[in-house]
Amino acid sequence: MSLEGILLSCAIDAKERRYIVVTDIPRAFLHAEMEEYVHMILEVTMAELIIKLEPILYRKYIWYNQKGKPMLYVQIKKAPYRTLQAALLFWRLLSSTLQEWGFKINEYDQSSKENNAL
C-alpha cells in the first residue's frame, strides 16, 4: 500500500468516526492449516536436528546426496513462513474468526469481496 493510500484511508476512517486497531499476532502463520499436501526437503543442519530430536522415528527416512549431506523429505501441516500461501491462509482464518466474533468487513475493502468469493 502506498503512503497516499494509507493517508486517504486514515482520512476516511476519521470522517466516518471508525475505531481502528493495529496489533501483531505472534507466530501468526503457524495458526493456519495447509489445505493441501505440501512436501519440503530439509537439508544438512535441519535434517541433522530432526534426527537428534527423534532418532528412532526419523533416522530411517534420512538419505544422503552425492556430496554425502543428509537430506529428509517431510510433509508440512502448517503454511511455510514468508510465502504467499501462508499469508492467504492466515488472512482467511483471521477474517472468518473475526466475523464469527461479530466484526463486520469494511464494505469498501476490495480484498474482502475477492476472499469471500473464494
- Residue type at position 64: Y
Domain count, the chain: 1
For the residues 93-104, what does the mean pLDDT come to?
A: 89
Q: What is the pLDDT of residue 15?
A: 94
Is the residue at 69 inside a domain? yes
For the residues 11-33, what does the mean pLDDT come to?
A: 84
For the residues 38-63, what does the mean pLDDT come to?
A: 90
> Domain limits at 51?
35-78
Q: What is the pLDDT of residue 16?
A: 92
Is the residue at 39 inside a domain? yes
Give residues with Cβ within 8 angstroms of 2, minimum separation 6: none
Length of the chain: 118
Is the residue at 103 inside a domain? no
- Read off the C-alpha cell for 73: 523429505
Tell me the chain's radius of gyration from C-alpha atoms: 21
Is the residue at 46 inside a domain? yes
pLDDT tier, 113 (very low <50, low <70, confident <90, very high otherwise): low
Does residue 115 have a pLDDT over 70? no
